[in-house]
């Protein structure tokens, strides 16, 4: 029999097959590229910079002599920052309970403010309203002040959000891309079928890793460019370093994906396991809000999570222009996760 | 048998946890160039046996030697020389026939040009079609092509034609026959008796994990005592089996659904004797037919059950 044209190596063919299968699966394409972009647009719109909302205030007017005072108070308050309604006591309180207003002002001596002290918005309204009324009544500030408002790129919510979304995408596409695929292959008995050939097990596993690494080179530029074009999110540090961080992150999560998929027999099981592993990180690893919001006691645990490490490193490089040395700690955390999960996956992997 | 054994196994046992014995002390020997068929009903232990021989399952006990080598020590070298088609494999839906075959070719250090294998299984025209677009028969031929692309000396086929239409079965039989002509050894399982009779040089009949008969299809059929079967259905009443069994040319009688089956040889002696007996005993025939005995009859004679029960 003929030998045929010299074939490519098994690793190259396996990797090629992964790529073909990926690009021929529209839903995989969407979850990798479309979803983060849609999310960034939605959140970017929700949190875009706009004038602060005016506070909603009710002024009590019970008729009679109070009416003149209520009118005076209302006139002093009405502005861009305060929206005032005049109501009788009963309906004012009803509106306060229902959240339609955050503060009820009862003119008089003393003037009464009724509000819920645990709501930051209400405390803000209390300060704002009192300040305007006192000034209208003649108070003067001992020291003049000048406000500088921060709206320049680099310090906005979207600047915080884009690196977080990048980290999240790297995590979910690595985990789903590897874990789900392997379990599907196993359920279809394709792993067993390939094992009946002289294929090296290492080539099989490595092809997933190579695919992920190559994908980072597509994924990261797409998302970073989108963030820059749509929201003006700039990469302050080295683009090469961003890629390096992303690569390490993707490989680390590839290991975790292999580990999660190492014994699962069907796609439902692996789906559940994936969510179990990823959910805490979606919430706790600072994708949408800083993980610093969690209590101090939780911090060492949160900082040890791979997604926290990845997000910290990405934000440091993208937002603050950090160098490789300054992000050494999160990089080590990522590396350890990668090595440990690969080692465990190799030991546990169910081949037959 | 001679030293030129492609495959040997002795006292093969496979036990699953809660006392289930799938293979119960099986001995086999397959010669180089032979096409050997494992026959038996579903659940007889055929697939378990084949997967042990393929090195995909570990036996609970027993000894397996393939091409003079052992799985424990020579796995990679062995895999280079084997072709395997599992009972059920779903290849990736969104890869084309050509891509799948090239992928499998890349696993082997040496092998056959994928285009040549595609020609051998008559799938050249489907080379760029996705797996998901193939018919059942085409999928099965591709599965066999994946087993052939490493240019194997020994080919394992586990129920290669189950569920296929007659046309597809014939096409697949051609593929297997041409592999045999090239000097290859085949070990296959099937529960189709016609398939075994057509393709296999020797068959082993397996039931409940044990080998209950072994030989060429011709010898096994001959062991029934008659090459022909007469099937008789009466309008009413029953045959006197002892008398019928004693008729000239009749070698055995058994009940079948709706009537009786007689092992007969030679037919031209048995048939007149039977008709005379029926006339003399006053029975009215509803139906009488004759046919060649098959391996199905062998199985029924051995187990009292039909193969596809």
Contacts of B106 in chain A (CB under 8 A): 7-10, 12-14
Q: Is A189 within 8 Å of chain B by CB?
A: yes
From the CA of A5, how many Å to the nearest CA of chain B?
7
Give the residue among A229, A207, A200, A37 at the shortest CA–CA distance from B75: A200
What is the distance between the alpha carbons of residues A230 and A35, in angstroms, rounded to a whole number?
A: 15
Q: Give me the total of CB pairs closer than 8 Å, taking one residue from chain A and one from chain B.
A: 87
Residues B14/B21, Cβ–Cβ less than 8 Å: yes
CATH number, position A77: 3.40.50
- The residue of A198, A200, A204, A207 whose CB has the most chain B CBs within 10 angstroms, and thus the best one to mutate to test that interface, is A198
pLDDT for A2: 45
Looking at A9-13, A176-180, B124-128, B185-189, which range is the least confident one?
A176-180
Q: How far is A188 from chain B (nearest CA, A)?
A: 5
A148 domain residue, yes or no: no
Measured in angstroms, the CA of B202 and the nearest CA of chain A are apart by 25
Using the Cβ of A183 and the Cβ atoms of chain B, whether some distance falls under 8 Å is answered with no
Residues 190-209 of A with CB under 8 A from B: 190, 192-199
Assess whether A251 and A170 both reside in one domain.
yes
Nearest CA-CA distance, residue B148 and chain A, Å: 11
Distance from CA of A279 to the nearest CA of B (A): 30
Q: Are the C-beta atoms of A164 and A315 separated by less than 8 Å? A: yes
Indicate yes or no: CB of A12 within 8 angstroms of CB of B106. yes
Per-residue pLDDT, B188:
95
Q: What is the ipTM of this complex?
A: 0.84
Contacts of B86 in chain A (CB under 8 A): 189, 192-193, 196
Partner-chain residue, chosen from B79, B90, B151, that has the shortest CB–CB distance to A190? B90
pLDDT at residue number A1: 44
Q: What is the pLDDT of residue A3?
A: 47
Cα–Cα dist B102/A5, whole Å: 11
pLDDT at B191: 81
A66 within domain boundaries: yes
Give the number of domains in chain A.
Answer: 2
B93 contacts B130 by C-beta, under 8 angstroms = yes
Q: Is the CB of B74 inside 8 Å of chain A's CB atoms?
A: no
Q: How far is A208 from chain B (nearest CA, A)?
A: 15
Strands (E), chain A: 55-60, 82-87, 103-106, 112-114
Q: Are residues A120 and A29 in the same domain?
A: no
Please indicate, yes or no, whether residues A176 and A216 belong to a single structural domain of this protein: yes
Which residue, among A11, A21, A188, A196, would best test binding to B if mutated, counting the most B CBs under 10 Å from its CB? A196
pLDDT score of B42: 82
A5 occurs within a structural domain: no
Q: What is the pLDDT of residues B52-102, one digit of tens each?
A: 999 999 999 999 999 999 999 999 999 999 999 998 888 999 999 999 999
**Can you give the residue range of the structural domain that contains A91?**
55-136
In a domain, A3, yes or no: no
Assess if residue A145 is contained within a domain: no
Pair B226, B252: CB distance under 8 Å: yes
Query: What is the percent of chain B where pLDDT is above 70?
Result: 97
Interstrand relation of B202-207 and B210-215 (parallel, antiparallel or unpaired) = antiparallel
Chain A touched by B92 (CB under 8 Å): yes
Q: Could you tell me the pLDDT band of residue B2, with boundaries at 50, 70 and 90?
A: very low
Say if residue A71 is preceded by a cis peptide, omega within 30 of 0: no
Distance CA A310, CA A285 (A): 9
Both A109 and A178 in one domain: the answer is no
Under an 8 A CB cutoff, do B80 and A17 touch? no
- For position B243, what pLDDT does the model report? 85
Report how far residue A339's alpha carbon sits from residue A256's, in angstroms, rounded to the nearest whole number. Answer: 9
Q: Give dist(CA A183, CA A265) in Å, integer.
A: 6
Is residue A184 located within the same domain as residue A78?
no
Give the pair of three-digit tokens for residue A58: 């009710």
Q: Is residue A316 part of a domain?
A: yes
| Residue A92 to residue A78: CA distance in whole angstroms | 17
Do A315 and A181 lie in one domain? The reply is yes
Residues A243 and A312 in one domain: yes
Q: Does B181 touch chain A (CB under 8 A)?
A: no
pLDDT of amino acid A287? 87
Domain co-membership, A168 together with A284: yes
| Whole-number Å distance between alpha carbons of B16 and B45 | 12
- Residue recorded with tokens 């796609």: A267
pLDDT in tens, B12-58: 999 988 788 889 999 999 999 999 999 888 888 899 999 999 999 99
Does residue A304 share a domain with residue A197?
Answer: yes
Mean pLDDT comparison of A220-234, B140-154, B163-177, B214-228, highest-scoring range = B140-154
Per CB-CB distance under 8 Å, the chain A contacts of B107 are 10, 194, 197-199
Those of residues 51-110 in A touching chain B at CB distance below 8 A are: none
Residues of A in contact with B94 (CB under 8 A): 20-21, 24-25
For chain A, residues with pLDDT lower than 50 are 1-4
Query: CA B22 → CA B11, B14, B15, B18, B202, distances in Å?
Result: 13, 6, 6, 11, 22
Q: Which residue of B has its CA nearest to A199?
A: B107
pLDDT score of A47: 65
In order of start, what are the domains of chain B with their CATH numbers? 5-216 (3.40.50.300), 225-292 (3.30.70.920)
What's residue B70's pLDDT? 93
Q: Do B116 and A1 touch (CB under 8 A)?
A: yes
Does the distance separating the beta carbons of A193 and B107 come in below 8 Å? no
Closest-CA residue to A285 (of A345, A334, A347, A342): A334
Say yes or no: A158 and A290 in one domain.
yes
Q: Would the CB atoms of A196 and B84 count as touching at under 8 Å?
A: yes
Question: Does one domain contain both A190 and A90?
Answer: no
Task: Give yes or no: residues A322 and A292 share one domain.
Answer: yes
CB–CB contact A188 B95 (8 Å): no
Q: In what order do the strands lie in the sheet with B285-292?
A: B250-256, B259-264, B228-234, B285-292
Among A102, A136, A170, the domain boundary falls at A136
Q: Which residue of B has its CA nearest to A24?
A: B94
Which residue of chain A is at minimal alpha-carbon distance from B182?
A: A1
Are A5 and B112 in contact (CB < 8 Å)?
A: no
Final residue belonging to a domain, choices A93, A111, A136: A136
């Amino acid at each position: 029999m003929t030998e045929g044209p010299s074939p490519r190596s098994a690793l190259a063919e396996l990797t090629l097959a992964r790529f073909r299968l990926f690009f021929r699966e529209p839903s995989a394409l969407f979850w990798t590229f479309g979803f983060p972009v849609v999310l960034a647009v939605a959140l970017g719109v929700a949190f875009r910079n706009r004038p602060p909302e005016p506070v909603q205030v009710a002024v009590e007017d019970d008729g009679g002599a109070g009416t003149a005072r209520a009118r005076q108070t209302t006139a002093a308050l009405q502005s861009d920052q305060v929206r005032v309604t005049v109501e009788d006591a009963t309906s004012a309180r009803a509106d306060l309970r229902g959240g339609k207003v955050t503060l009820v002002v009862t003119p008089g001596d003393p003037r009464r403010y009724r509000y819920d002290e645990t709501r930051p918005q209400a405390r803000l309204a209390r300060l704002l309203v009192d300040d305007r009324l006192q000034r209208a009544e003649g108070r003067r500030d001992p020291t003049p002040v000048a406000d500088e408002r921060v709206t320049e790129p680099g310090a906005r919510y979207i600047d915080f959000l884009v690196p977080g979304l990048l980290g999240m995408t790297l995590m979910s596409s690595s985990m789903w891309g590897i874990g789900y695929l392997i379990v599907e292959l196993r359920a279809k008995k394709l792993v067993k079928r390939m094992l009946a050939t002289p294929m090296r097990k290492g080539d099989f596993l490595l092809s997933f890793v190579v695919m992920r690494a190559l994908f980072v080179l597509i994924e990261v530029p797409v998302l970073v460019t989108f963030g820059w074009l749509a929201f003006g999110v700039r990469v302050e540090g080295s683009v090469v370093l961003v890629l390096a961080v992303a690569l390490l992150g993707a490989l680390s999560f590839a290991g975790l994906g292999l580990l999660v998929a190492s014994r699962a027999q069907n796609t439902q099981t692996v789906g559940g396991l994936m969510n179990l592993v990823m959910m805490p990180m979606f919430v706790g690893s600072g994708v949408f809000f800083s993980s610093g919001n969690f209590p101090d006691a939780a911090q060492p645990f949160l900082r040890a999570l791979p997604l926290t490490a990845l997000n910290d490193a990405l934000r440091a490089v993208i937002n603050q222009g950090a160098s490789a040395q300054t992000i050494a700690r999160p990089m080590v955390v990522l590396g350890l996760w990668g090595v440990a999960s690969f080692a465990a996956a190799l030991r546990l992997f169910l081949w037959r | 048998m001679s030293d030129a054994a492609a495959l040997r196994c002795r006292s093969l046992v496979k036990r699953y946890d809660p006392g289930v014995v799938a293979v119960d002390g099986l001995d086999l020997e397959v010669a180089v160039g032979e096409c050997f068929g494992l026959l038996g009903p579903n659940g007889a232990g055929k697939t378990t046996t084949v997967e042990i021989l393929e090195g995909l399952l570990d036996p609970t006990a027993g000894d397996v030697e393939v091409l003079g080598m052992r799985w424990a020590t020579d796995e990679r070298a062995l895999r280079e020389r084997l072709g395997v088609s599992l009972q059920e494999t779903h290849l990736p839906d969104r890869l084309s026939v050509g891509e799948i075959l090239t992928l499998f070719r890349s696993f082997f250090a040496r092998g056959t040009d994928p285009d040549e294998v595609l020609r051998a299984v008559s799938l050249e025209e489907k080379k760029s079609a996705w797996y998901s677009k193939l018919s059942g028969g085409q999928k099965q031929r591709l599965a066999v092509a994946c087993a052939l692309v490493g240019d194997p000396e020994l080919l394992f086929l586990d129920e290669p034609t189950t569920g296929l239409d007659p046309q597809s079965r014939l096409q697949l039989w051609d593929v297997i026959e041409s592999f045999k002509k090239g000097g290859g050894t085949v070990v296959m399982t099937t529960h189709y008796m016609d398939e075994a009779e057509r393709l296999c040089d020797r068959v082993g009949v397996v039931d409940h994990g044990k080998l209950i008969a072994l030989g060429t299809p011709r010898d096994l059929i001959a062991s029934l005592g008659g090459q022909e079967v007469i099937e008789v259905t009466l309008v009413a009443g029953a045959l006197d089996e002892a008398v019928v069994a004693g008729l000239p040319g009749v070698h055995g009688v058994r009940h079948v659904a709706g009537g009786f089956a007689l092992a007969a040889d030679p037919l031209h002696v048995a048939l007149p004797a039977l008709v005379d007996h029926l006339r003399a005993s006053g029975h009215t025939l509803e139906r009488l037919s004759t046919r060649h005995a098959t391996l199905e009859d062998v199985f029924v004679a051995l187990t009292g059950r039909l193969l596809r029960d």
